[in-house]
Amino acid sequence: MQYHSNCGQQPGTAPMTPWRRLALLIFGFALVLGVTPVGAQQRPSAAATPRAEEITPEVAATVRAAVEAWARGNVRVDDVRRTPMPNLVELRVGHDIFYVDEKGQYILLQGELIDMKSNRNLTRERLDDVLTIDFNALPMELAFKQVVGNGKRRFAVFEDPNCGYCRKLRADLVKLDNVTIYTFVYSILGGDSELKARKILCSADKTRAWNELMLSGKIPGNAGTCANQLEKIRALGSKLSVSATPTVFLADGRRVAGYLPPAQFEKLLNEHSAK
């Protein structure tokens, strides 16, 4: 599944919260300094650490074949070694190091656990669960609503006026049928995002003004000085850890961060929003 975002966050990834970033930094420094993080098991002595030659040819062949098959022949495993962790094997591919279980089913890739047999990202699936919200608890009074057809497929979207991928997504959204779209104008990119957002919210027909802005660049002619709830929307986005635009919440609370091609978005919409 390919995601795209233009706010500096890696496409399709979970938001890097301050706590997660701090935890990664602490753990990284602990590894560099040879310090055992609090709550972690004491490091084994050098004598207790399994040596590379202790790995059996069968295990080496199994994990080598599994990884090379999963990568569809695009990589060649240069070396296979045991690690101090039971049942965890180190693979070297050029100057990169990966970790695989001895049965050759799971691989740790950039900190994410991948099931190579089903090609499922187990870390991503777990984060999807963690980041799921109560859709019905969203303060919809902060959004403007657009209903097309029977409106049965509901979702909410956080968009910034200056977000390129938001414009691309909006071009797809206006072609959808039988949807209810709740748009939260989430001005976080700086520049004149705030002014454009104010002008939208001061328009008599906010949905029309937003679609015209995103699709053709037409900026409403009002002064943008009416009362608005942009601060409340930004506070809501912060509470929900919305760190990139566009971010979509489907009717079952599932989060989609970044742009998805129309066919993939439609598939998710049918699976998670037809309620």
Ordered by start, the domain boundaries in the chain are 44-127, 135-272
Along the 275 residues of the chain, how does pLDDT read in single tens digits? 444 445 534 344 445 554 444 444 444 444 444 444 444 444 444 444 444 447 899 999 999 999 999 999 898 999 999 988 889 998 989 888 889 999 999 999 888 889 999 999 998 888 888 889 999 999 999 999 999 999 999 999 999 999 999 999 999 999 999 999 999 999 999 889 999 999 999 999 999 999 999 999 999 999 999 999 999 999 999 999 999 999 999 999 999 999 999 999 999 999 997 55
Report residue 80: phi and psi, to 5°. Answer: -130, 125
Residue 145 near residue 207, CB atoms below 8 Å: yes
pLDDT of residue 35: 42
Find the distance separating the first CA and the last CA of the chain, reported in whole Å: 23
pLDDT of residue 166: 98
Measure the CA–CA gap between 107 and 137, rounded to whole angstroms: 37
Q: In CATH terms, is domain 135-272 a member of 3.40.30.10?
A: yes
The two tokens of residue 9 are 């966050």
Measure the CA–CA gap between 49 and 270, rounded to whole angstroms: 51
Q: What is the pTM of this model?
A: 0.67
Report residue 113: phi and psi, to 5°. Answer: -90, 120
Same fold, 44-127 and 135-272: no
The one-letter code for the residue type at 234 is R
pLDDT of residue 15: 52
What architecture is the 44-127 domain classified under in CATH? Roll (3.10)
